[in-house]
Amino acid sequence: MSAHSFTLVLSGGGLKGLAHIGVFQALEERGLVPDLVVGSSMGSLVGAAWAAGIPVADMASRALLVRRRHVFQVAHVDMALRRLLAPAIYRREPLDLLIGELVGDRTFNDLARPLLVNSVDLHSGRQVLWGLPGRRSVRVADAVFASCALPGIFPPRNIDGRMYIDGAVVENLPIHVAATASKGPVVAVNVAATSVERAAHETQGFAATYIRGLEIVMQAQIEGHLARWDGPPILLVEPRVAHVGMFSFYHTRELIDEGYRATLAALDARTIAGQGDPLAVAS
């Protein structure tokens, strides 16, 4: 491995995951290219765009154009006709279109860069990583949709006859996957922090209450995994995005800028601590 060999792990966190674009911008500026990207939920979407070869500047410009209607359209027909048997609150088509515009019909074999996408088999409850040997012929778009399919929010994705949901249910910051897939250091980006209290209007209605509950569960899960971590050294990057709601479309520029700032700050802090190479201590 080279002196800068490392795995980049990108957490889920809804729209807060747009901060990952700024992470790639900062890494690129420092000449740091991950050997592997492991993404969960929105982390898998941004990671897939990067792995497909989309320039960081293009990723940012596209993100700034995304509005709520491009992701969330209520599944009125399903909810009216199927009621509690409806697969999800929101339709799959808008998110499918958004993902498809980024990665097309590529399989993992077609990607320019290595990528693992975190998901969970709905029936077995097992974590499934797309992009590993034996799981590379799947369409990247299907794997990413599955990884973004928060239960009840988006419908599960059927891949080869089995149903898959968001990998965040098991491991929102999939550092254990990174440790298994590579022996090198890990740069882990957590955008799932919940330290800021939500206003009453941000938790009104079923969807808002449910999503807030998921935020809390995901952050507690990440804290537990980090506290018990015994794998390769980690450079933890935690952009200050806790004040942004998971599905707020009004902070995109701020999120990208904060991902950039937090990544440079983490790299510089490692350098100031006495390491001329910010990743050398973890290699």
Residue 236 has pLDDT above 70, yes or no: yes
User: For residue 68, what pLDDT is reported?
Assistant: 78
Q: pLDDT band at 83, cuts 50/70/90?
A: low
Residue 231 has pLDDT above 50, yes or no: yes
pLDDT tens-digit readout, 124-154: 999 999 999 999 999 999 999 999 999 888 9
What pTM did the predictor assign? 0.88
Distance CA 83, CA 59 (A): 37
User: For residue 74, what pLDDT is reported?
Assistant: 78
Residue 282 has pLDDT above 80, yes or no: no
User: For residue 245, what pLDDT is reported?
Assistant: 83
pLDDT tens-digit readout, 88-114: 778 889 899 999 999 999 999 999 999
Residue 51 has pLDDT above 90, yes or no: yes
User: For residue 247, what pLDDT is reported?
Assistant: 84
Quote the tokens at residue 59.
């990723």
Buried b (16+ CB within 10 A) or exposed e, 241-260: bbebbbebeebbebbbbbbb
Quote the tokens at residue 234.
């980690």
Residue 40 has pLDDT above 50, yes or no: yes
- State the average pLDDT for the chain: 87
Residue 80 has pLDDT above 70, yes or no: no
Pick the range with the lowest mean pLDDT from 126-135, 139-148, 180-189, 273-282.
273-282
Cα 177–chain centre separation: 14
